[in-house]
Amino acid sequence: MKVLGINGSLRRDSLNLKLLKAAGDYFSENVEFEILSLGDIPLYNQDLDGDNKPAAVVNLKQKISDADALVFATPEFNHSIPGALQNAIDWASRPAFNSPLTGKATGMLSASMSPIGGARAQAQLHTVMASALAPIFPSIEYLLGSAHTVFDASGAMTDETAATRLERYIKGFEEWLQQGG
């Protein structure tokens, strides 16, 4: 089973990238987990969305098609998801009747330095992915507040509570996938 991790943040030292890597470690050996960066994707423009799509868009759609499921990790920007993440979904969701997002089982995580942990970002991502007809793992959400305090210098998640909750989310997600998503 292939799971594609999608990081809503583009910065090099992204906390959400660390979170995705930590999440990847909790999948069983039956899961092949790959993380995708969104940095190369141009802004969506319908005039470019024809037969010759930008290469990064072709790659995005192919990676999503090839995956059995998606796991997003996202920061919160302006009480919403980053434009970069919305933009990737804008590309992938078209055309509506032949989108690789349709029916794609989806999980979501969020990390932020504030105590809120990206709660509003995740609610908005829920709205956006539901609009793309993706079934979303029905679970208590995984919000990682004060995220800059839970990883060590090597990027390992050293906060036990955060790690235990993450393990529970990912194991629950994999179980849900096995039951059909």
Give the interface with its own copies as residue ranges (CB under 8 A). Answer: 9-12, 38-39, 41, 43-47, 77-90, 93, 102-103, 115-117, 119-120, 123-124, 126-128, 130-136, 138-140, 143, 145, 179-180
Tell me whether the omega of the peptide bond preceding residue 115 falls within 30 degrees of 0, making it cis: no
Q: CB of residue 17 vs its own copies: minimum separation in angstroms?
A: 12
Supply the DSSP symbol for 84.
Answer: H
Neighbours of 62 (CB within 10 A): 11
Strand partners, 69: 3, 105
- Identify which of residues 33 and 143 has a Cβ nearer to its own copies in the complex: 143
- Contact (Cβ atoms closer than 8 angstroms) between residue 64 and residue 100: yes
Q: CB of residue 134 vs its own copies: minimum separation in angstroms?
A: 6
- Identify which of residues 33 and 93 has a Cβ nearer to its own copies in the complex: 93
- Identify which of residues 49 and 167 has a Cβ nearer to its own copies in the complex: 49
Q: Which amino acid is at 164?
A: T
- Identify which of residues 33 and 125 has a Cβ nearer to its own copies in the complex: 125
- Identify which of residues 33 and 100 has a Cβ nearer to its own copies in the complex: 100
Which tokens in the block code for residue 124?
Answer: 């908005």
Neighbours of 167 (CB within 10 A): 15
- Contact (Cβ atoms closer than 8 angstroms) between residue 159 and residue 149: yes
Q: CB of residue 179 vs its own copies: minimum separation in angstroms?
A: 8
Q: CB of residue 29 vs its own copies: minimum separation in angstroms?
A: 26
Which tokens in the block code for residue 101?
Answer: 């997002």
Q: CB of residue 109 vs its own copies: minimum separation in angstroms?
A: 15
Strand partners, 143: 110
Q: CB of residue 2 vs its own copies: minimum separation in angstroms?
A: 20
Which tokens in the block code for residue 120?
Answer: 């509003």
Closest CA to 157 of 36, 15, 27: 15
- Identify which of residues 22 and 105 has a Cβ nearer to its own copies in the complex: 105
